[in-house]
Chain A
Amino acid sequence: MIQSLLDGILTGAIISLGAIGLTLIMHMLRFANFAYSELLAIGAYAALVFDRLFSTLVPVLDEAFAPLTLTGALALSMVIAMVLTGLSAVVIDWLVFRRIRQKADPLSMVFASFGVALIIRNVIVLIFGHHAQLYSQEIARATILSFDPLILIKPDQVFVLVLALVLMLALHLVLTRTTFGFALRAVAENPALAQVAGVRLTTVIAAVWIIAGSLSAAAGTLYALTNQLNPMIGPVFLLPVFAATIVGGIGSVYGAVLGGFIVGIASGLALLVLPSGYAPAMPFLIILAVLLVRPQGLFGEDQR
């Protein structure tokens, strides 16, 4: 019970990181982006490439920070992956979504995002193969918190949770304390009015993609650090991040964070009563429940 709760909180932190960007995109560009969770995959694989590169070129970096399995090389790679994924999100927007946005309705973008997801996912399969990969071959030893009931936690997991919370706090500070944060929230509130006040819409949209891409890259890398990495990471996270967004209410960053934890914990606890094969269906049941009880989500305003 407590073990499932802990695992749920951990998965929840990763889902939250992923959902923050999605809720912003869905609110500002008004389309459900089915290619969104592929950003987690891009980030995690980018980190893998640079991790291998650094640990070969600069062996010093290959030392793990005990008791974590995280190495200096991976930490550095994660930062690079965040930047690169942010940029690729912008590039994908320029290549596809912006051009469709200019001439067609938002539903064409939803549809295009299906195609983009299919392309990204399978290019990753072609390059890296179907098999699972690990950042580190070292065995992460779990610390036993209690014997009865048996509760295990790995140092890596604590690190992931702390880092996720730090990233969310950083975003909170940016949104509430900087001019850029005001501009971003202004656009989210009322794009026309924000433009009148001198906010450049294209810049803000690019910035949102960068935030979305880098947080997703962090989520993908952190997931791969505590689990394993395979090309299905995108589709696996797609419904959970959508569920978190809907639970929290589209457009609400804090809602997405809370929603991520709710989805993570609820899925973790559900596995106590359901066979694990049903796990992929859990986020959908949560979405249904929210649509029945409170369609606008916890903090959402727009539902039409």
Chain B
Amino acid sequence: MIGVVSYLTFFLTMAGIMAIITLGLNLQWGYTGLFNGGVVAFFGAGAYGTMILGGPAEPGQFGGFGLPYLVALGGGVLLAAALAWVVGLLTLRLRHDYLAISTFGVAVALESLARNSQWLTGGARGMRGFPRPFEAVIESNFLFGVVFLLIVLAVLALVWWGIERLVHSPFGRALRAIREDETAARALGKSPTRLRLWSLVIGAAIMGAGGGLYVSYTAFVSPQDLLPILTFQVWAMLIVGGAGNNRGAVLGAVLIWGAWTLSGFALTRLVPDSMQLDAGSIQYILIGTLIVSMLLWRPEGLLPERISNPRNTTVAKAAHTSNKE
């Protein structure tokens, strides 16, 4: 029984971390229309940043400052935000695909940095031994799992609340205005580049927080955590759930993470041993097919975006139709 419960807490913790990252992407893509092709880079910056600041010292390696948990986590978040700020500054005034290509490039570059910079990241073997938060107070592993799940859920709620506040503020309306009709927004005196930059940076900071939570949960990070598949997974979560809707983003995260885990189980059981190496490929094909079919048949996702203020509905519809022409 306790095995099932502790697996369930593990599953929900991971799903919760994914949901946090998906909310970050929802701010960028759902509310602002920014294509982030390197979600994993900002997740990774958060994870490695937290690890370097808060992890134990390793001989011959930079880092291991052993800073308090919250400081380390904050540092990871800042690192992710700074990375996004640099990329955004260079690409946001250009046509949209430059951002997609550059964010994708950041992810590739970060992975090769993590793999090769022995002095900074421990190279291919990664970094381990992140001190468990509250180690002094909580001794049992099971209890730690439960407490950490609660922390993740609290962060998720905080991020949710923050984004809701943000998108219903004048800032959020301006974001949607530039997404729907940039020229009109510009005519009203909004600066699209600056608004987009903020959205990119805040979204990346949220992804970085996801990375920081991940590293403090598993106490371990390696270049294997920086593979592009995470980007695909998070995108699938957002598009299945429904871009532009926070409920959708969280629902999608739980559904896709569940489907991913289940298909992993099913494949290890069903596929003969000689083909186990291919099981991963089948999962990748499934997620690729899911992305493409959602875009073809239900691009708005399970829970479509709702324009919350009823007075704005007609305006939004009108803007939408004029945009299509």
- The stretch that binds B, out of A136-144, A218-226, A272-280, is A272-280
**Which one of A111, A281, A288 has the highest number of Cβ atoms from chain B below 10 Å of its Cβ?**
A111
A-B contact count (CB 8 A): 136
Q: List 11 A-B contacts (CB under 8 A).
A: A32-B101, A100-B295, A108-B299, A110-B97, A111-B235, A111-B291, A118-B291, A125-B278, A126-B278, A280-B111, A303-B98
Docked-complex contact A106 and B108, CB < 8 angstroms: no
A164 vs chain B, min Cβ distance (A): 24
Q: Chain B interface: which size bin?
A: 35 or more
List the 7 shortest-distance A-B pairs measured between CB atoms, nearest first.
Answer: A118-B288, A115-B291, A284-B105, A32-B97, A277-B116, A281-B109, A119-B288
Docked-complex contact A123 and B285, CB < 8 angstroms: yes
Docked-complex contact A304 and B35, CB < 8 angstroms: no
Q: Which of A108, A118, A283 sits near B284, CB closer than 8 Å?
A: A118
Docked-complex contact B281 and A281, CB < 8 angstroms: no
Given A111-B239, A285-B109, A122:B101 Cβ within 8 A: no
Cα A105 to Cα B95 in complex, Å, equals: 13
Given A99-B296, A104-B299, A126-B278, A288:B97 Cβ within 8 A: no
B194 sits at the interface (CB 8 A)? no
A189 sits at the interface (CB 8 A)? no
Q: Which of A114, A250, A279, A284 sits near B235, CB closer than 8 Å?
A: A114
A37 vs chain B, min Cβ distance (A): 12
Cα A81 to Cα B27 in complex, Å, equals: 43
Docked-complex contact B116 and A112, CB < 8 angstroms: no
Docked-complex contact B95 and A303, CB < 8 angstroms: yes
Q: Which of A107, A116, A125, A278 sits near B116, CB closer than 8 Å?
A: A278
Q: Return the chain A residue nearest B238 by Cβ.
A: A111
Given A34-B37, A118-B291, A280-B112, A291:B91 Cβ within 8 A: yes
Q: Which of B97, B277, B289 sits near A115, CB closer than 8 Å?
A: B289
Cα A103 to Cα B296 in complex, Å, equals: 9
Chain A residue numbers with a CB within 8 Å of B33 are 105, 107
A302 sits at the interface (CB 8 A)? yes
B220 sits at the interface (CB 8 A)? no
Docked-complex contact A277 and B285, CB < 8 angstroms: no
Cα A17 to Cα B63 in complex, Å, equals: 44
Chain B residue numbers with a CB within 8 Å of A104 are 295, 299
